């Protein structure tokens, strides 16, 4: 049973949620500028939602007496749930797959949100910057250099 009398609400979870929201938004802005179906709102929600589930696992579940807590169980659930969401983004169009990069980006956004939720802000920022490089620089390499051959 939850014990709400000793439940400490600190500033840390709020900072983590805002950080996950901002990092997800950065990825979503790039996707919106690239005219992709999943944009700022989708990436923000995936990142923030993933962070929220991890925070629930970190802060609420340990307050329940006689409960075996496995911190990775919630992460596994988030990965599976976002994987299901990403499956809906991938479609066939004119005998080719469309949406693979967007789906992979959403999956990474979930990982970024989980990293923030676990307090790994440096890792989350590095993953965000790396993902932006994939979305922009690698796209340029793919379109301008590789496709010319």
Task: Give the DSSP H/E element, type plus range, for residue 12.
Answer: helix 12-33
Could you tell me how many residues make up the chain?
Answer: 149
By C-alpha distance, which of 42, 53, 56 is closest to 108?
42
SS3 97: strand
- Torsion angles phi and psi, residue 147, rounded to 5: -70, -15
Token digits for 50? 């993933």
Residue 10's contacts (CB-CB under 8 Å, 6 or more residues apart) are none
pLDDT in 10s for each residue of the chain, 149 residues: 555 555 566 889 999 999 999 999 999 999 999 998 889 999 999 999 999 999 988 887 767 776 677 778 888 888 888 988 888 888 888 888 888 899 999 999 999 999 999 999 999 999 999 999 999 999 888 888 776 66
């Amino acid at each position: 049973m939850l014990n709400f009398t000793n439940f400490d609400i600190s500033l840390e979870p709020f900072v983590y949620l805002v950080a996950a929201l901002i990092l997800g938004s950065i990825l979503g802005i790039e996707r919106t500028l690239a005219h992709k179906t999943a944009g700022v709102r989708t990436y923000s929600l995936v990142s923030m939602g993933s962070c929220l589930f991890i925070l629930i696992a970190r802060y609420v579940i340990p307050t329940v007496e006689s409960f075996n807590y496995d911190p990775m169980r919630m992460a596994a659930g988030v990965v599976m749930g976002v994987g299901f969401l990403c499956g809906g983004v991938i479609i066939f169009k004119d005998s080719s797959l469309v949406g693979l990069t967007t789906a992979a980006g959403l999956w990474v956004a979930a990982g970024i949100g989980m990293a923030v939720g676990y307090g790994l802000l440096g890792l989350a920022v590095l993953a965000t910057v790396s993902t932006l490089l994939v979305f922009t620089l690698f796209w340029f390499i793919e379109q301008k250099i590789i496709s010319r051959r």
